[in-house]
Amino acid sequence: MDEGVLRSLFGLDGKVALVTGGGRGLGRSMALALAQAGSELALVSRTEAELKEVSDEVGALDHERKIITIVADLADFAQIPRVVEKVIGEFGRIDILVNNAGRNIRNPAENFSIEDWDAVININLKAAFLMAQTVGRVMIRQGKGKIINIASLTSFIALPNMVAYCASRGGVQQMTKALAVEWAKYGIQVNAIAPGYFLTRQTEPLFQDPKKREWILSKIPMGRIGDLKKDLAGVVIFLASPASDYMTGQTIIVDGGWMAD
């Protein structure tokens, strides 16, 4: 396969990608991958300093790559239309949504408060749906688009002290299927990525505990955690690109083999 064919399948030149939770961790990693594949970027995060760091990284890769940053807390649902309107105002379109913003609160189920439940469900599931719905309306008018929801191993398995997180990520997987079925007729593909363990601010405390780190690594046949610099790049580019045009409603697990063992 020659370079031109590969570029037509996997290249994202001229595409506009909106990445929520794009200031750090998985979101930052996927945003950089999309930029390297040619996409213009709109990044959303609650923290302006983190957005600036990612913007500077993208600028170092390509000074001509257009990138905008939007400070927003998507748990305040009223901000979601504002975010989408700003992206449309700057670019005129949205080709790719990476629905990544999320959080986790760990507590035993018997002690899990209503406030903590709502905090997790509201950002991981409700805000994810509202963002997909708002961007989906844009994509319906366009007649095409790619929505990439971020699920988790806990879309498939349960882990202790994570009842709200497990519920929310299971919901993301089912939401992905439902949207895929409804919106296929509009030329929109809706898929999900279910990452295993990567070293992020959210998971760092686990890896600082030798026993927890040993237990996690014992579950991964590859014997290592995911590398943010490379292990999500290929799958997010694939799902954002024409190479995945005949694929929808699927969840791709990126976990070093955990779910296969």
Give mean pLDDT in consecutive 10-residue pieces for the chain, a chain of 261 residues: 74 96 96 95 96 92 86 97 98 98 96 98 98 98 98 96 97 98 98 95 88 95 95 98 98 97 84
CA–CA separation, 137 and 13 (whole Å): 23
**Tally of domains in the chain:** 1
pLDDT for residue 169: 98
pLDDT for residue 3: 66
pLDDT for residue 2: 63
What is the residue type of 38?
G
Cβ contacts of 133 within 8 Å, gap of 6 or more = none
pLDDT for residue 164: 98
pLDDT for residue 261: 84
DSSP assignments along the chain, one per residue:
--HHHHHHHH--TT-EEEEETTTSHHHHHHHHHHHHTT-EEEEEES-HHHHHHHHHHHHHH-TT--EEEEE--TTSTTHHHHHHHHHHHHHS---EEEE---------GGG--HHHHHHHHIIIIIHHHHHHHHHHHHHHHHT-EEEEEE--GGGTS--TT-HHHHHHHHHHHHHHHHHHHHHGGGTEEEEEEEE--B--TTTHHHHTSHHHHHHHHHT-TTSS-B-TTTTTHHHHHHHHSGGGTT--S-EEEESTTGGG-
pLDDT for residue 62: 73
Which residues span the domain enclosing 143? 3-260
CATH code at position 253 = 3.40.50.720
pLDDT for residue 201: 84
Catalogue the active-site residues. Answer: 165
CA–CA separation, 230 and 78 (whole Å): 34
CA–CA separation, 36 and 34 (whole Å): 5
User: How far from 256 is each of 22, 196, 197, 219, 223, CA to CA, in Å?
Assistant: 23, 7, 9, 9, 8
CA–CA separation, 83 and 79 (whole Å): 6
